Amino acid sequence: MSQQKSEQEWQAILSPEQFRVLRQKGTESAFKGEYDKHYEKGVYSCAGCQAPLYTSSHKFKSGCGWPAFFDAIPGAVDQHPDPDGRRIEIVCHACGGHLGHIFKGEGFPTSTDERHCVNSISLKFQSEDAKI
């Protein structure tokens, strides 16, 4: 992780809800996030540090209530066993911000049979059309 900041520094740059999810490992409500049903072409980056995490080509409709991706940009996301012992937490490799969880073996018709269940508030989207 290259972007080490104090909790006070994170609070100064993140909204209270972003801080709760990204830094305190919270979860936003299902079906409420702005990227749940968002399918424009582009890149989803970390809302904390702007590191690119996912491309729209890896996003799919899972019906789970949160944005779902079957893979991340190589090296962008780290995986850790969740303290509950049942899930795998995913965090931004660059800043350690909490993104959500990975679920495996659910039978979705994707190349990885993984679902990266990501909080919308942990992401910022940049459209392909917006690139300079």
Q: Which helix (H) or strand (E) holds 18?
A: helix 16-18
Q: What residues are paired with 44 via a beta bridge?
A: 54, 125
- CA-wise closest residue to 122 among 15, 41, 31: 15
- CA-wise closest residue to 112 among 25, 45, 54: 54
Residue written as tokens 């800043």? Answer: 95
The residue type of 33 is G
Q: What residues are paired with 117 via a beta bridge?
A: 68, 101
**The pair of three-digit structure tokens given for residue 55, joined into one six-digit string:** 């491309």
Active-site option among 46, 49, 95, 117: 117
User: Is 117 a catalytic site residue?
Assistant: yes
Active site residues: 117
